Structure 1
């Protein structure tokens, strides 16, 4: 069995990152990104759940995740899978599209479209291959335009869940590093603890505690990218220690905080 490996690239000044990886043993914990994430499977098969259904991506298929789409991921068999993925901040997608008609929405997380796959593969190769900035921007424009034209259901911003779930989510965003309790969420939402749990799971695809951990991990990524030491980052983002942060960072993002720190362009 081949060993797991990953190679990561991130821009130092724009919300764009890319990873090339092979995983046979690694299993992604359920998580989401605050970016659009477009991936392509090169070899093997990747199984994952997203939006309440099970999916499998095989060679040539494109994966499209909206911001905050909860999903997991694992190899569908012992041979593992190799894939490329690009993460694009919503503000960058808006810039590419010229701000027209709001942000796109991708209803299907797996798309079989050779033209999209070719565009995404070219963009990814340019990012990890050190192509000139002008060429990267050109391929970025081609890929985003193609994704929206060929795979988006409609160019609108997805509706934000309201009511109980939204009030609980707002509290977690206000206090991401605090020891928030179920009673705190119930008080903020104006209902029982169990009603909050059910509503939150239905609206956001994960438990409130998982969502709070994800907020902490996102802030950890930002701090690490700014050069804050990993131990200090762990303390500032509510993790027990550096090893605790490293364990969850790897489970959700597929690489260690140290590897992410080293992935500057």
Structure 2
């Protein structure tokens, strides 16, 4: 386990801080942070994201409604679940959040519940959960990841405990949630596929609408309805996800910025912080990459 810190825990609570941890060999990441000023730009993760609010209130918008997670509550974001986030109280909030790749979640759940084999991925109906057992299971996982002296066996056990605790609170499965796509959804999917293949391209709305096979307005409306983000936000998110991968692999920051379509290093850094709450440098340290 490698650990990187965006900053040390401050003596003055009014200052934002964040620490980031990343598993060496699996899609598992953790952030422990206090935010009073920072505001997340609307974004999603390509992983399950489970957070526990430890102090204060975190306010956010998700699935068309305003939400709030107060002390002891659990946040549950499905993969690609758009949301933002900011302090819901004057004194800010402290929380821990784990990002667990869907393939790892399915592997651990299948092993825990069936002794191996594939399982249908669970999905969460509500992004805020009141469950002390699940919260404590997540906190034990966080503790094992943050403690350098904990064994890999202990971390595996804590991960299984947390995954099972959260899966029991899921409302539906991915198999149930996937209906036949409507014409509007197909338009959005064509636009998404184009953006994912050409995320570094500086395209305009006309070009994307032609790829989707409709007008600019119809494309925009269908995309937001399907994915909860504007096409430009989705494109930027694709760039940032690829930038994370490049940084983990040791690509210099300036080179990564150019490769994924950002104007320069500072442009990438600004958006990286707005989406992920930490700097690219802190993320590189968490990934064990020398600066």
What is the TM-score when the length of structure 1 is the normalising length?
A: 0.97
Cα deviation, residue 52, structure 1: 0.5
Q: Tell me if structure 2 keeps the 8 A contact 1:183–1:193.
A: yes
List structure 1 runs of 4+ shifted beyond 3 angstroms.
Answer: none
Which residue of structure 2 aligns with residue 91 of structure 1? Answer: 103
Matching of residue 82 in structure 1 with residue 82 in structure 2: no
Give the alignment partner of residue 234 of structure 2, picking from 199, 211, 221: 211
Q: Tell me if structure 2 keeps the 8 A contact 1:101–1:155.
A: no
1:235, 1:175 → 2: CA distance? Answer: 14
Give the alignment partner of residue 115 of structure 1, picking from 133, 152, 160: 133
Cα deviation, residue 185, structure 1: 1.6
Give the alignment partner of residue 154 of structure 1, picking from 172, 191, 196: 172
Which residue of structure 1 aligns with residue 21 of structure 2? Answer: 9
Cα deviation, residue 126, structure 1: 0.7
Which residue of structure 2 aligns with residue 195 of structure 1? Answer: 218
Cα deviation, residue 102, structure 1: 1.6
Matching of residue 126 in structure 1 with residue 144 in structure 2: yes
Query: Secondary structure of 1:255's match?
Result: coil
Cα deviation, residue 241, structure 1: 0.4
Cα deviation digits, residues 111-134 of structure 1 (max 9, x gap): 000000000000011111122111
Cα deviation, residue 180, structure 1: 2.0
Which residue of structure 2 aligns with residue 73 of structure 1? Answer: 85
After superposing the two structures, state which structure 1 stretch, 160-169 or 217-226, moved more.
160-169
Cα deviation, residue 263, structure 1: 1.0
Which residue of structure 1 aligns with residue 156 of structure 2? Answer: 137
Q: Tell me if structure 1 keeps the 8 A contact 2:15–2:35.
A: yes
Which residue of structure 2 aligns with residue 23 of structure 1? Answer: 35
Q: Tell me if structure 1 keeps the 8 A contact 2:107–2:118.
A: no
Q: Tell me if structure 1 keeps the 8 A contact 2:21–2:146.
A: yes
Query: Secondary structure of 1:142's match?
Result: helix
1:174, 1:94 → 2: CA distance? Answer: 26
Query: Secondary structure of 2:211's match?
Result: helix
Cα deviation, residue 101, structure 1: 3.4
Count residues in correspondence. 264
Give the alignment partner of residue 252 of structure 2, picking from 229, 249, 265: 229
Q: Structure 2, unaligned stretches of length 5 or more? A: 1-12, 111-116
1:101, 1:93 → 2: CA distance? Answer: 10
- CA-atom RMSD, angstroms? 1.3
Q: Tell me if structure 2 keeps the 8 A contact 1:37–1:87.
A: yes
Cα deviation digits, residues 122-180 of structure 1 (max 9, x gap): 0011111122111001110111011111x101233442753111111111111111112
Q: Tell me if structure 2 keeps the 8 A contact 1:172–1:212.
A: yes
Query: Secondary structure of 2:122's match?
Result: coil
1:177, 1:41 → 2: CA distance? Answer: 35
